[in-house]
Structure 1
Amino acid sequence: MKNPLDSAALDAAIENVHRAGMPGLFAEVRDGDRVWRGAAGVADVATGRPVTVGMRHRVGSLTKTFTAAAVLQLVESGQVGLDTPIGRYLPELVPGERGDAITVRMLINHTSGLADYLPYAYPSLKALPDLAETGPQSLDDHRLTRFDPTALIEMGVTAPAVGAPGGTPGVYSNTNYLLLCQLLERVTGTTAEQYITRNVIERAGLRDTELPTGPYVDGPHSHLYEAWFGMIDPPRDYSVFDMSWVGPAASLISTVADLNRFYGLLLAGEIVSPSSLAEMRRTVPVVSLEGKTGDYGLGLHPMEGPGEGTFWGHAGSVWDGGALAMTRADGKRQLAIAVNMQRWNKLDSSGKPQPHPIDDALATLYRVAMYG
């Protein structure tokens, strides 16, 4: 048997991430009918309450796969054209020549050239390469701020472009996905949250997954801690946070079991059609928020490793919480993991994040989980 599910190795690998400095994490690995679930560390550093594998969790940009799937369903029904200019649908949000040049596909695969609105919505938070000038003050200022999505989109659209429409490498931008949410609303006459819930979350039979409307995580969950590159020491709890700053671009709450179920069904062609799934797996080079260039499709990215087959899924990060879900192309091997701290790497004098033991420990956990 190839790549066996080695429970002892997985137990050791997840414990090592906690020992490297992660307060708490939990994961589910599937290999056909075999399932391993594990957790290590604490959900509350003040009380020592342990994390458990069934906890609900903010999964960040894994949300983008759900949003992309919802848009592709509208493409299948003929209500949206994948290569139609966004200006045809939302002329007031992306006016003029850019509205004519940027297609729906370019929004989904981050080749629109539109800048991310985040540094404008959170003035103290800088992106690469300006991390040396950054600070966490905006997180406290905007913990309960209710952002208007069209105001956030305007920040991204009016900011200097980061590329030409359709040019590669693309640049990852949350502005793209807030526009896709507005597209969903314009075409369906319902909110993006309602449409994604009904047509993606419920269609997949996910019982512990939701797009929140308030600042709280309902049900059993971990506290979530933000270190902001060592500038918040000890890391601060931002579990209660208004998620309107990302909406259905990155606000999803889910569990590791639900994430594995969703990506398994998606890659089996049961959430979108096989032809839509093929479009989702057509990749272009895209520069991430961390400044790394990798392949990105339509709300999916691949992960190659030393074992057999390509894995498809998404990584996610919000203030304080992170997640990764990857499913092998044949659907038989899956990993979903949630961590309760973010931005643990400290910066050097030039503002570049430095290696941390958590990085190597997580890489080992991914390798053991995906390739045995």
Structure 2
Amino acid sequence: MMVALVTAAAMALGPAAAVPQDMELQRKLDAVVAIGALAEVRDGTRVWRGSSGVAELGTTRKVPVAGRFRAGSITKTFVAAVVLQLVAEHRMRLDDPVERWLPGVVPNGENITVRHLLNHTSGLYDFKDTLPMPPNPAFYELQHRTWTPAEQIEQALAHPPVFDQPGSQYDYSNTNYVLIGEIIEKVTGHTYAEEIERRLIRPLGLHGTSMPGTSPYLRGPHAHGYVPKDGELVDFTQMNPSLFGAAGELISTTRDLNRFFDALLGGRLLPDRLLEAMKTPGTPDRAYGLGLSWHDTACKIRVYGNDGDALAYQAYTFMTEDTRRQVTIAVTPRLPDNPDTSVDAFIDQAIC
């Protein structure tokens, strides 16, 4: 397997001392239930990169360590960071009602706030639940369809809310972030993708990260992604990411996601009060704040970050609260097998 190891010149331990941990990381990566996987682990100044499996079924081509992938709902953290920067600039407030920015769009919009959208306590129905999913034959017809936010919002709002009192419960809904994308455009005059590019991607030097809009392609090195069809796996690498929109269209790399979360959780993107707001759960029983999630590893170390499911790709990125240790892993899953348990074991190895 292709493995890259980068060490700082002033590292206290010599490279040989780190080999057992590197070998164990590779072993855990090889054990991830997937067609292919790639990861970057950071511990202080040390960086380990590895890959496992194949980049394309029917070949022996290795997964590129620096490969790009669809990051799914990790997009939400980027979108939330833009919103919180706008809050810091006094251009909007977390407690602004949706009605202020999108008048007449959302029923009960005077009682649903930006905060409710960001932490999934709005109660709005998830447009994703209106879509066919594999192996439903209608799903494959959506591969190259262009969606507009208005269409997605309309499909969601054709259903009643899942609860009546905004802020009282948690219910994950991609509709929330489609609406947030529209609010960003109302506040700034630019699309959410343009604001992410201007505020985050370019300043942080995230050269492998993009907001593809309606382009179906994964540019640069990448592994192919697959979905099940008629008892087999079919290539779904190319697809129109407007299906995800502001809720999940991001393309990135392990390096870029680690760099972004290091800047975010290291306090370089937001004032302390807004970073704390991002880490505050919307309801006491959920580990989800403003576009940010967290959990405790097997060794009881809390990590902050997010994960994303983009049908043929799944990604996970987490960082310790002291910002010393980070791990990002992306997989091309062998659906319908779920890689979460084996990914958790890799994350535990990286953090613990």
TM-score (norm 2): 0.90
Q: Secondary structure at the match of 1:284?
A: coil
Paired with 2:195 and 2:298, the residues of 1 have a C-alpha distance of 39
Which of structure 1's runs of 4+ aligned residues deviate more than 3 A? none
Q: 2:47 pairs with 4, 21, 35, which one?
A: 35
Name the counterpart of 2:128.
118
2:83 is aligned with 1:48: no
Amino acid corresponding to residue 174 of structure 1 in structure 2: N
**Mean Cα displacement is larger for which, 249-258 or 205-214?**
205-214
Post-superposition CA distance 1:270-301 (Å, at most 9, x none): 11221110100001349xxxxxx741100000
Amino acid corresponding to residue 363 of structure 1 in structure 2: D
Name the counterpart of 2:350.
369
TM-score (norm 1): 0.85
Paired with 1:338 and 1:194, the residues of 2 have a C-alpha distance of 25
Native 8 Å contact 1:328 1:334 kept in 2: yes
Residue pairs, 1:14-29, within 5 angstroms: 14-17=29-32, 20=33, 22-29=34-41
Name the counterpart of 2:251.
253
Native 8 Å contact 2:126 2:174 kept in 1: yes
Amino acid corresponding to residue 138 of structure 1 in structure 2: A
Native 8 Å contact 2:123 2:169 kept in 1: no
Native 8 Å contact 2:170 2:286 kept in 1: no
Native 8 Å contact 2:182 2:192 kept in 1: yes
Amino acid corresponding to residue 155 of structure 1 in structure 2: Q
Post-superposition CA distance 1:98-118 (Å, at most 9, x none): 111000000000000001012
Name the counterpart of 2:117.
107
Name the counterpart of 1:210.
210
Q: Secondary structure at the match of 1:101?
A: coil
Native 8 Å contact 1:28 1:257 kept in 2: yes
Paired with 1:13 and 1:23, the residues of 2 have a C-alpha distance of 14
Name the counterpart of 2:332.
340
How far did 1:366 drift?
A: 1.6
Post-superposition CA distance 1:216-246 (Å, at most 9, x none): 111111100123xxx6532221111001111
- Summarize the Cα distance change of 1:342–1:193 in structure 2 as closer, same or farther, 3 Å threshold: farther
Residue pairs, 1:55-134, within 5 angstroms: 55-95=67-107, 98-120=108-130, 122=131, 124-125=132-133
Residue pairs, 1:319-334, within 5 angstroms: 319-334=311-326
For structure 2, the residue ranges without an aligned partner over 5 or more in a row are: 1-11, 13-17
Aligned residue pairs: how many? 334
How far did 1:8 drift?
A: 1.2
How far did 1:343 drift?
A: 4.1
How far did 1:167 drift?
A: 3.7
Amino acid corresponding to residue 15 of structure 1 in structure 2: D
Residue pairs, 1:126-205, within 5 angstroms: 135-205=135-205
